[in-house]
Amino acid sequence: MSNVQAPQSASEIFGVSVKDGMKMLGNNAKIYLRLLTSFASSPMYDDFVSSVAERDLEKTQVTAHTLKGASGNLHVDSVFEKMRDIESEIKMTGALPSETMLRELAEIQERTLASVNALIAHPEWLDELKG
Question: Can you give the pLDDT at residue 2?
Answer: 61
* Count of beta carbons in the 10 Å neighbourhood of residue 65: 16
What is the domain partition of the chain in residue ranges?
13-129
Predicted confidence (pLDDT) per residue in 63-80, tens digit: 999 999 999 999 999 999
CATH of 13-129, one of 1.10.1760, 1.10.3470, 1.10.287, 1.20.120: 1.20.120
Name the maximum alpha-carbon separation found in the chain: 44
pLDDT band at 7 (very low <50, low <70, confident <90, very high): very high
